[in-house]
Structure 1
Amino acid sequence: MKELSGLPNLKVYRLVMGAGIILMILGVLLTFFTQEHLGISFYLHAVVVAVNAILIWVYPKKQTALIRTSINVMLAIYFYLMFVIYPFTLSPMLIICFIPGIAILFFNKKLFYFSLYGNVAVVLSFMIYVILVDKGEVYYLFHKDVLGYAINFLASQVMLLFIFLLLEKRIENQKLYYEQIQKDERLKTTGQLAAAVAHEIRNPITVVQGFLQLYGNDQPQEKRKHYELMLEELKTAERVISDFLSLAKPSDVDSEVVNIKESLHNVLDLIKSYALMETIQIRLIVEDDCEISCSLLEFKQLFVNIFKNAIESSKAGDTIEVKVKKEQDMVQIVVSDHGVGMTEEQLQIIGTPFYSLKSKGTGLGLMICFNIVKKYNGTITFDSHEGVGTDVTVSFPIIK
């Protein structure tokens, strides 16, 4: 059965909307049979009902922004028209209060605010008209307590705004929860795959490496380069397998007290030669020296990965800035580069298996980083702009 975006399935939609259309048509027929003289208001009423019926009925087949906006506007016009044509009853006013609720059904933020602000502007303008121009001649029931109606109307709009914001927050939380489930499922699948094939692949690679080294030494200089190239590619394959294994079997090392400043200096010592090869400087700024509880080995593995990514995305002569600062009960380590940066689309899928911006990358390095941070109740976020650079912010709870 066909599903509608933000609405019930087609059968339920046809049933409910069909009942609404029949009620609107009955209203037109009732006017036709009870009034002796049919004026322009009757024909206008009939036309608005017809347009609404067509839009509502064709919506499941054409779920476009134009159709959704048209339904919202035409239903608003219909209820406004009922209030204007039949001033002797205030029941249409109750429905007018909930016109923005139509946009909530579509879960469309822009349409909701357009409907809300438009409804407030139209109704308040009409109230001013009744007070200054009509003065109770036609809309005598409304004129009796305009202030009361105004207060109740505005209260209903505030209530609808609150409901919309609450729904929007819940939908956003559900979306984040769903994305997290997807990431966990991908990680689980990757781990199972790694556990199944990594060892079986590593054994023949080790044998091949041994024979290549053995026969490579006996080759002339011009052919020896080919053997060196093959060995280098096999080492790359081994690194990928090692990353697979670290995902499949996370290390169960014990946590220890890690001094942030001292540990980052150790990491910089490890990575300094690689940075100098690319003529890139790394500057460490420690505003607040803190201690955290984690594995020193995994801490180093985390930041070696982050620093390598920053170096590889930077241009020759650039400076990478590493800033450590305290934010309440968390320590933030921000690694900033001025490299190629990333687009919004790339940021959305970074850290997923087999997605990498590097030609020979696998995406597993960052995935390991995410796992390490999560293991110690930390967070990792990326703020990047294409052609400007990237800020990677890693936060850990401070030992109190």
Structure 2
Amino acid sequence: MIDNEFLPSIKLYRMIIGLFITLMSAGLVLIYIEDDRNISLSLILQLLFVVSISILLIIFPKRDSVNFRATIILLMSAYFFFMFLRFPDRFALLLLISFIPVIPVLFLHIRLFYITLLCNITITISIIIYLMMYDTHSIHVYNYLDFFGVAINFLATQLLLLFLFLLFQKRMKDQELYYDQVKQAEKLRTTGQLAAAVAHEIRNPITVVKGFIQLHENDKALPEHIKKHYKLMLDELQVAETVISDFLSLAKPSETKMEVVSVNTALHTVMDLLNTYAMVDTIHIELEMEKDYKIHCTIMEFKQLFVNLLKNAIEASHHGDTIQVKVTGEEDRVKVMIIDSGSGMSQEQQERVGTPFYSLKAKGTGLGLMICYNIIEKYEGTINIWSEEGKGTEVTVTFPIVKID
């Protein structure tokens, strides 16, 4: 079942479809009267088309699927061509055929738009060529007057539809990108407000409790098994403090001075930090770089960003895997890609990545990627994550290049 949220409302849809079915039925009745109430084979075929299309349109909201949409589109296209061939003396039907490719757009079926457009051009031009080859002046009076003009105008309408469709598609992609950016900004803003409200209040009592536990831990009179419990409590309090520090790093404005960071040098430092961690599972990290690039960032935040991303890649990888880190320059931006062939993520998991407290790790907090997004946004960068279950993940981060004369 496909979500049909593109419908304005079920009530409005039913009203429009009801009017459409009424018009088709009225046309059927008028033709029956014009034919002196004779029931011909063509009238029966038209009746079957009208009934079939009406049934499909009525049950469409409840049975929405890719195949169902395709069936409606193909059936309606066939109906329009049938009507044109049945009434070749009515030029309005040729105009109707010209706009057949609009039907897939209404049903948001992108692939079928191109198929319908190609078939529409092929079939219609074939019909016009057939009419040119045979003397059909008596029944194709409008087309017969100017076959070349009809063909040229028809092709012009198809090109116009293609242009409008490509423009519509670009607008839709831009809107999706904007919506994703708004959602991400809202996540960061909400998390920052939450952090500012509660982090300090939680941190103060934890510090007091931690101090008393450390004091009693050094008491030589306590048995060793009790001290082990104290050690466990201190470790858990340290975890809590780490989470609070992550929250605060999202909430508080940065007071560090802007630096010009060498991407080459900084990435080698990050790899030195993580190579030992990766080699525990014999995971190898490869770095490919065209040349060195400079970006505006702080070295601390740069390391924090790529340590988080590379750790995620390492933890998602399998024993003996290789992680590729590729650095390239595109126009005025540097692009850093981290590619692993690990477990990957589903589409639903990708959509939730970066949400507070959502993590694929057993003891993860979900704040690591939130911090990464915050750092990237702060320095006017972008991040794109592609992943597929069982095939791995590709994370692409870009930053504006600093040009130093």
The verdict on a shared fold, with TM-score over 0.5 as the criterion, is yes
Q: Which residue of 2 aligns with 1:305?
A: 308
Aligned pair in 2 of structure 1 residues 226, 396: CA closer, same or farther (>3 Å)?
A: same
CA contact 1:256–1:295 (8 Å) conserved in 2 = yes
Q: Distance in 2 between matches of 1:16 and 1:106?
A: 14
1:203-218 pair list within 5 angstroms: 203-217=204-218, 218=220
Aligned pair in 2 of structure 1 residues 346, 26: CA closer, same or farther (>3 Å)?
A: closer
Give the partner amino acid of 1:25. S
CA contact 2:69–2:109 (8 Å) conserved in 1 = no
Q: Distance in 2 between matches of 1:282 and 1:198?
A: 36
Aligned pair in 2 of structure 1 residues 390, 138: CA closer, same or farther (>3 Å)?
A: same
Aligned pair in 2 of structure 1 residues 88, 327: CA closer, same or farther (>3 Å)?
A: closer
Q: Post-superposition shift, 1:283?
A: 4.6
| Structure 2: gaps spanning 5 or more residues | none
2:196 paired with 1:195: yes
Structure 1, 107-116 or 362-371: larger mean CA deviation: 107-116
Aligned pair in 2 of structure 1 residues 139, 354: CA closer, same or farther (>3 Å)?
A: same
TM-score normalised to structure 2 length: 0.86
CA contact 1:246–1:368 (8 Å) conserved in 2 = yes
CA contact 2:382–2:399 (8 Å) conserved in 1 = yes
1:358-369 pair list within 5 angstroms: 358-369=361-372
CA contact 1:5–1:106 (8 Å) conserved in 2 = no
RMSD: 3.0
Aligned pair in 2 of structure 1 residues 193, 267: CA closer, same or farther (>3 Å)?
A: same
1:1-400 pair list within 5 angstroms: 5-36=5-36, 38=38, 39-132=40-133, 138-139=139-140, 141-217=142-218, 218=220, 219-275=222-278, 280-315=283-318, 318-400=321-403
Give the partner amino acid of 1:75. M
Give the partner amino acid of 2:302. F
Give the partner amino acid of 1:382. I
CA contact 1:320–1:338 (8 Å) conserved in 2 = yes
Q: Distance in 1 between matches of 2:64 and 2:183?
A: 28
Q: Post-superposition shift, 1:256?
A: 1.6
Q: Distance in 2 between matches of 1:54 and 1:384?
A: 40
Q: Post-superposition shift, 1:280?
A: 4.7
Aligned pair in 2 of structure 1 residues 335, 72: CA closer, same or farther (>3 Å)?
A: closer
Q: Post-superposition shift, 1:86?
A: 1.8
Task: Give a deviation string over 1:29-53, Cα, whole Å, max 9, x none.
Answer: 3223333362322333333333333
Q: Post-superposition shift, 1:239?
A: 0.8
Report the secondary structure of 2:302's partner residue. helix
Q: Distance in 2 between matches of 1:385 and 1:215?
A: 50
Aligned length: 398
Task: Give a deviation string over 1:88-116, Cα, whole Å, max 9, x none.
Answer: 22221111111121222222213423432
Task: Give a deviation string over 1:228-263, Cα, whole Å, max 9, x none.
Answer: 222212211111111111112132322122222333
Q: Distance in 2 between matches of 1:236 and 1:16?
A: 59
Q: Distance in 2 between matches of 1:54 and 1:361?
A: 51
Q: Distance in 2 between matches of 1:67 and 1:334?
A: 40
Give the partner amino acid of 1:166. L
Q: Distance in 2 between matches of 1:277 and 1:68?
A: 52
Give the partner amino acid of 1:377. E
CA contact 2:386–2:393 (8 Å) conserved in 1 = yes
Q: Distance in 2 between matches of 1:319 and 1:192?
A: 39
Task: Give a deviation string over 1:131-161, Cα, whole Å, max 9, x none.
Answer: 4567657545434433332222222222222
Aligned pair in 2 of structure 1 residues 331, 232: CA closer, same or farther (>3 Å)?
A: same
Aligned pair in 2 of structure 1 residues 194, 145: CA closer, same or farther (>3 Å)?
A: same
Task: Give a deviation string over 1:254-290, Cα, whole Å, max 9, x none.
Answer: 2122222333344344445544555555454443112
Q: Post-superposition shift, 1:386?
A: 4.0
Aligned pair in 2 of structure 1 residues 10, 207: CA closer, same or farther (>3 Å)?
A: same
Instruction: Give the percent of matched residue pairs that are identical in Structure 1 and Structure 2.
Output: 50
Structure 1, 66-75 or 254-263: larger mean CA deviation: 66-75
Aligned pair in 2 of structure 1 residues 22, 125: CA closer, same or farther (>3 Å)?
A: same
CA contact 1:6–1:105 (8 Å) conserved in 2 = no
Aligned pair in 2 of structure 1 residues 55, 389: CA closer, same or farther (>3 Å)?
A: closer
CA contact 1:355–1:362 (8 Å) conserved in 2 = yes
Give the partner amino acid of 1:48. F
TM-score normalised to structure 1 length: 0.87
Structure 1, 120-129 or 90-99: larger mean CA deviation: 120-129
| Structure 1: gaps spanning 5 or more residues | none
Q: Distance in 1 between matches of 2:342 and 2:67?
A: 41
